[in-house]
Amino acid sequence: MRLNLLISWLLLALVGCESHTSFPKIDSSGYYPIQKGSQWTYTVVETQFSPVTGQTISSYDLKVLVSDTLVASGEVVYTLQRFRRTDDTQPYTATDTWSVRKSDFAIVVQQGNIPYLKLSLPLSAGKTWNGNAYNSQGGKDRCTDGTLACDNYTVKGLAQGFQLGTLSYKNTVTIEENNAVDPIVGQDVRTSVYALGVGLVYYESNVFSYCTVGACIGKQIVESGVAYKQTLKDYVAR
């Protein structure tokens, strides 16, 4: 009897130890590492649709360089210089300047004059936030207060592997920035993938308006919009 009780207590102790085993937590800010001197080079394929000029496809290299930092309102602001070239034989040409604000709670990327809340920290599976929280663009998604004025970003994959051509990343997070598909009107589908210790490794955006006049209604004939795919080819940390 005593032996049975002893065995039962030992089993309970083992189960208790297993249920309370703690695994190392990931610092989700590591999905967006940034410091002065870091640079990312991407291959971009962009297809523009126009009712006037039709379909135009362009491909080019995009280099993003963290050229400077400054402190504003207690936050560090990183300056991103962006360069473009048509292929490896051509020199880079400066195109525009973005900036990034990184805090313990947010990664805000200012694309031109418009700030977007790209990552709401800390990240967790299924977490949703308004990507337009820092601008006035609104959106078609339902906000937490019930109004339809948000552009909701959602964590769809956390701490998962991601295969990108010949490159393989063991730990990435996938952010669904939008997944609005209307078979009659058009679609707004945007996805970002960030690798731990690297940053943005893949971005795809398909924003189209379909023809809605006459016989083309419902045939999903793209009248206007842009299909954009950005894939990391090289990363230099500093």
Give the pLDDT of residue 72.
Answer: 84
Give the pLDDT of residue 20.
Answer: 34
Considering its fold, how many domains does the chain have in total?
1
E-assigned strands of 103-221? 106-111, 114-120, 128-130, 141-142, 148-150, 152-164, 167-182, 186-195, 199-210
Q: Mean pLDDT in runs of 10 for the chain (238 residues)?
A: 40 36 65 96 96 92 97 89 95 97 94 96 96 94 87 95 89 96 92 97 95 87 93 92
Residue 38 covered by a domain: yes
Residue 6 covered by a domain: no
List Cβ neighbours of 31 (8 Å cut-off, separation of 6 or more). Answer: 119, 123, 172, 173, 194, 195, 196, 199
Residue 104 covered by a domain: yes
Residue 13 covered by a domain: no
Give the pLDDT of residue 25.
Answer: 59
Give the pLDDT of residue 175.
Answer: 98
- What is the helix (H) or strand (E) element at residue 42, kind and residue range? strand 39-50
154 lies in which domain range?
Answer: 27-236
Give the pLDDT of residue 3.
Answer: 40
Residue 157 covered by a domain: yes
Residue 19 covered by a domain: no
